[in-house]
Copies of this chain bind each other. A is one copy, B any other.
Amino acid sequence: MTPVVPPADDADPPRARGRADAERNRTRVAEAAALVFAEHGLDATVAQVADRARVGNATVYRNYPSKTELLSEVALRWLVDWRTALRAAADAGDVPFREVFLELYARLRGDRLALDLLRAGAIDDEVTAARAEVEALFTASLDAAVADGLVRPGITYADLSVLILGTAGRLSEIGETDPAAWRHVADMIWAGIATG
């Protein structure tokens, strides 16, 4: 059973194998993908990613078997990050829902992929599962706020989904990137759902 494969001492760089230039390209592609998907969401094309990375499209496919795979990697990064933040807030216990709410707006601003993910994003099972977790955590936070009398009774996750994803989508659509403008909209929404 003694393996014939290389020593496999992938200690520090978990994926650093093969030629150095190839590794450099892999990084470039990943970084470009993050930017391009943030800008164009699910509509981004592989060619756009390749161009941004200053690389041929074949190089993208050499590192990722399909566009879906690439999308999934970027999507999961966002979802896991947001999930971590939500869990931390839940664990702390004393984070007001308003902050969670505003934080979501801030994370959606300028990130069309994030928006697309929460809107429909059926990329693969892993992403779907992560999204479900994130939604559950957010819902729990909202329900607690309703129970505490911070948010008007009768307001559900479905309602907030329409309000937040709808307005964030529209802001993206018109190319609004000013944080103050986003904040202004968030404040109006908040005024509509908060108690007195």
Given A188-B192, A192-B189, A166–B170 Cβ distance below 8 Å? yes
Closest to A171 in B: B162
Given A119-B173, A191-B191, A163–B167 Cβ distance below 8 Å? yes
B167 touches A162 (CB 8 A): yes
**What's the minimum C-beta distance from A124 to chain B, rounded to whole angstroms?**
21
Would you list the 9 A-B pairs with minimal beta carbon distance, nearest first?
A192-B192, A166-B170, A166-B166, A166-B167, A191-B192, A188-B192, A162-B170, A162-B167, A165-B170
30 contacts between A and B (CB under 8 A): A119-B170, A119-B173, A120-B173, A155-B188, A159-B185, A159-B188, A161-B170, A162-B167, A162-B170, A162-B171, A162-B176, A163-B185, A163-B189, A165-B170, A166-B166, A166-B169, A166-B170, A166-B171, A167-B167, A169-B169, A169-B170, A188-B189, A188-B192, A188-B193, A189-B189, A189-B192, A191-B191, A191-B192, A191-B193, A192-B192
Interface residues on A, range: 20 to 34
Once the chains are docked, how many angstroms separate the CA of A79 from the CA of B143? 41
**What's the minimum C-beta distance from A164 to chain B, rounded to whole angstroms?**
9
